[in-house]
Structure formats: structure tokens, C-alpha cells
Amino acid sequence: MDRIAHFSTLLDRNPANTLFRFSLAQALLAAGRGPEAEPHLRLCAQSQADWMIPRIALGKVLLAQGRRAEAKPVLEEALRLAIDQHHEDPEAEVRALLAEMG
């Protein structure tokens, strides 16, 4: 069973499980299916105020779709979380994305 099918099945059985939802989103992203991952990433970000990684992924998905105005506040929040949580690599990654946006 591929990863998308696997995590889809797990999520169908337990729709409230944000870790299954995030894993499905990651599998969709790995398969180049960012637009399908977007609602899952949004729900993950909304489920936990301090969950930085779904915000970074969501920002990238939005940027890839040319939705810069939507991506910017998502990435700014991810940056704030990266700084607050002392995650240097994600901080550098998000700073670079924001700098590219201008």
C-alpha cells in the first residue's frame, strides 16, 4: 500500500488524529500533490497554535500556487514560531522564503 492510501485509511478511521492528517499531507506533498495537501495542512496548523512545520509547508504550497498574499502571514507566523522555539534551520528556511517574496 502506498503512503497516501495508508494514511488516508488511517485518517478515515480516526479523522480527529492530526498526526495521521499531517502524515497524509506529507505523503501528498512528496507525490507533488500540494493542492490536495493544503486543507490537511490548514487543519493541522489550526489544531495547534505552536505547530510550526505545517505552517511552513502550507506557506510553500500557497507560494507554489502563486498565492503570495495568503502565504505571507502563514510564513510570518511560522517564522515567529521558529524563533520562539529556537529552531535555526526552519528559521533560515522561512527567512529565505520571505526574502524571495520581497
pLDDT over 70 percentage in the chain: 99
Residues near 23 by Cβ (< 8 Å), separated by ≥ 6? 3, 7, 10
In the predicted model, is pLDDT for residue 90 greater than 80?
yes
CATH code, domain carrying 50: 1.25.40.10
Candidates 43, 47, 50; CA nearest to 24 is: 43
Tally of structural domains, the chain:
1
Give the domain extent around 21. 3-101
How many angstroms separate the CA atoms of 24 and 64, rounded? Answer: 19
Cell for 50?
505552536
Q: What is the pTM of this model?
A: 0.95
Cell for 32?
507533488
pLDDT digits (tens, 9 = 90+) for 30-70: 999 999 999 999 999 999 999 999 999 999 999 999 999 99
**DSSP tag of 28:** H
